[in-house]
Chain A
Amino acid sequence: MNGNFIWLAIGQIFDPTVAAYALATIGLVIHFGFTGLLNFGQAGFMAVGGYAFAITSVIYSWPLWGSFLAAIVAATIFALILGIPTLRLRADYLSIVTIAAAEIIRLSVKTPEFSDVTGGSEGINGAARAFNAVNPLPEGRWGLMGTPLVYNQDQWWIRIVGWGLVALACLLVFLLMRSPWGRVIMGIREDEDAVRSLGKNVFSYKIQALILGGVLGGLAGVVFILPRSLQPDNYGTQLTFFLYTIMLLGGAATVFGPVVGSIIFWVTLSLTDGLLSLGIEAGVLPLTTTQTGPIRFIIVGVALMLLVIFRPQGIFGKKKDLHFA
């Protein structure tokens, strides 16, 4: 073991998985941070987007743009199915329905009856083929400014597109939240009856916010599967709670909070992993290497508890915006 793990941790800053988590969290920030919708099924939106992309691209050989569109449309339909019956009710109903719906998606795609299309519990391989086919970068491997961070052309391509999408999503949230639309959304978060009494169609705004955040979740699902194969068990409730961790880390009602939160989350995981392995190798820590995995999540959990106690508004949040405390 050497200092390599530090480069591994730094590499997380560019990692497409980190971008996917950031993108999904931006969606969650629109739901929870700005609109006050308690969506506990963001993993379901990611699954819907990921499956729509992989199925249309791998099984039905759609062109790339068609698959992207399919992911967006599927996430929109999923948002409508969840939102229309629940958004007229009290806020807690949405959380119950979303957490259940995400599990329904994950368990349904695993059933053998659907495995022709969904790949069953095996998932789907090779979703990135069409995506890499349009890669404009020449073949080869480049490092980042002489560092040991060296990637091939496909790895660079997904990093550029993934983080490009994150940047676009940040811009979108920034433009929306400074506008009168964002004002209505935040008013709904504060008190939807007051907003209703001022002549705004609250239900319509909530549906719009749910769709927007859900589509970002769906696109995050696409970015998530491009560097790897699609596995149904990646979309458990655990994923949703990682996204909540990232959101609270960065600040729930902020534009850049999800990006920074996602990077910190993954760099911390990577660093603790490296440090723990180092400690075990040197015989300092009375642990086995298999125990490092759970222990780093314990560390993340403790860090989150400390954060919520001492800086509940997150890194970027303003104390005044803390509507959920």
Chain B
Amino acid sequence: MPEKTLVSDITDDVIVPGVKKKDPIVVAHAVSRRFGGLTAVDVAHLEIPRGSITALIGPNGAGKTTFFNLLTGFDKPNTGNWTFKGKSLAGVPAFKVSRMGMVRTFQLTKALSGMTVLENMRLGATKQGGENIFVSLFKPLWKAKEDEITERAMQLLAKFKLDTKKDDYASSLSGGQKKLLEMARALMSSPELVMLDEPMAGVNPALTQSLLGHIVNLKDEGMTVLFVEHDMHMVNTIADWVVVMAEGKVVAEGPPSTVMSDPAVIDAYLGAHHATDLGTIEGQLEVAEDMQSDLIRNEVEHDAEAAGIAVPGHESAPTADAPSTPVDTEEKK
């Protein structure tokens, strides 16, 4: 598994929500966003460490995506200020944020379906003079840059194993391939900070592993990654640092091992059975046992007998560290 950044390289202070980082790339302070009476985001202080992979987790409606939108200029906060590489981003429009080196992807994949895979990639490139309406009329003025862009696009596509699909319309790709394309497209501009909004949503288990690898590679290439994810297995595997949001606030942060065992986090988000695989009879029985519900227990046992599966004794119920499938099932309350 990938080598993780040491906690001592991220911070020396006592780990509490809003802790100072040694080398933050993004610093957000008192950022809040209200929709009518609802406060969607209310982050007192948060620093994202440079050169590492930070996961942003939290239950549905915790304000993760809204916070993403605020940081990237897609939405404007009611209060607060935030900086990227020490430069204030308050009031900076989304396209300029992207040009500064902070590129995002979307929860609902935004592949430009009416364009080919290669055109999608080329669009991600920066400093193409031919994007000026007057320059664009004269091909010799932008041809050389276009060749350069195409070469880089093909390299990235090859890395993401999409090079054979370069002339296909993006609409013909599978959901997982669209996620890959969106990530590859974001990398065309050589960003410093890549922000991925649920990169694993809708991706089949076979692709999950390669996506994980790609994200770890970003870090190896010197980029900082911030991602929103519900898949705890993924967070555990690749994140150096985890930030937990609930009801708009940062309720905990720290390295994954510490955060995952924080009782406040487990209660607020993960649930007592977050590591239980509900896809198996054993897992379901374990939950039934805990809920002390005879009804559920009887039902599960009945189903198991009907299917000819031996019902295991409760003593041998699986422990928290024995999930068997590649995608960890999390229980949401």
> Which residues in A have some Cβ–Cβ distance to B below 8 Å?
172, 175-176, 178-184, 186-187, 189-191, 193-202, 208, 212, 320-321, 323
Contact = CB atoms under 8 A, between A and B. Distances in A.
Given A176-B133, A186-B114, 15 more contacts: A175-B136, A175-B139, A179-B136, A181-B130, A183-B119, A194-B111, A198-B123, A198-B186, A199-B96, A199-B98, A199-B126, A202-B95, A212-B133, A320-B114, A320-B171
Contacts of B110: 191, 193-194, 197
Contact of B103 (A182, A193, A198, A212): A198
Contacts of B99: 199
A200 B74 contact: no
B113 to A, nearest CB: 6
B136 A201 contact: no
Contacts of A194: 106, 110-112, 182
Contacts of A200: 95, 123, 131
Contacts of B133: 176, 181, 208, 212
Contact of B137 (A179, A195, A196, A198): A179
- Residue among B96, B104, B130, B136 with the most chain A CB within 10 A? B136
Contacts, number: 101
B126 A184 contact: no
Nearest to A191: B110
B147 to A, nearest CB: 12
Contacts of A323: 114
Nearest to A200: B95
Given A181-B131, A182-B136, A189-B114, A197 B103 contact: yes
Interface string B123-149: 110101011110111010010001000
Contacts of B72: 197
B112 A196 contact: no
A197 B126 CA distance: 12
Size band of the interface chain B makes with A:
35 or more
B177 to A, nearest CB: 16
Nearest to A323: B114
Contacts of A179: 130, 136-137, 139, 142
Nearest to A178: B139
Q: Which 3 A-B pairs have the closest CB atoms?
A: A179-B136, A181-B136, A180-B130
B160 interface: no
Nearest to A172: B137
Nearest to B124: A198
A317 B106 CA distance: 30
B137 A176 contact: yes
A178 B130 CA distance: 10
B136 A180 contact: yes
Contacts of A193: 74, 106, 110
B115 interface: yes
Contacts of A199: 95-96, 98-99, 103, 126, 189
B146 A180 contact: yes
B185 interface: yes
B208 to A, nearest CB: 23
A28 to B, nearest CB: 18
B122 interface: yes
Contacts of B182: 194
A197 B122 contact: no
A177 to B, nearest CB: 9
Contacts of A189: 114
B142 A321 contact: no
A186 B115 contact: yes
B304 interface: no
Contacts of A187: 112, 115, 123
B98 A183 contact: no
B94 interface: yes
A180 B139 CA distance: 10
Contacts of B96: 199
Contact of B132 (A181, A195, A198, A202): A181
B74 A196 contact: yes
B185 A198 contact: yes
B164 to A, nearest CB: 19
- Residue among A178, A184, A194, A199 with the most chain B CB within 10 A? A199
Nearest to A189: B114
Given A180-B122, A187-B112, A190-B114, A198 B189 contact: yes
21 contacts: A175-B139, A176-B137, A179-B139, A180-B136, A181-B131, A191-B112, A193-B74, A193-B110, A194-B106, A194-B110, A196-B74, A197-B98, A197-B103, A197-B106, A197-B186, A198-B124, A198-B186, A199-B103, A199-B189, A200-B123, A201-B93
A190 B131 contact: no
Contacts of A195: 112, 123
Given A179-B139, A197-B98, A198-B124, A184 B114 contact: no
B128 A180 contact: yes
Nearest to B182: A194
A287 to B, nearest CB: 45
Contact of A184 (B103, B123, B135): B123
A212 B72 CA distance: 30
A29 B58 CA distance: 45
Contacts of B112: 186-187, 190-191, 194-195
Contacts of B74: 193, 196-197
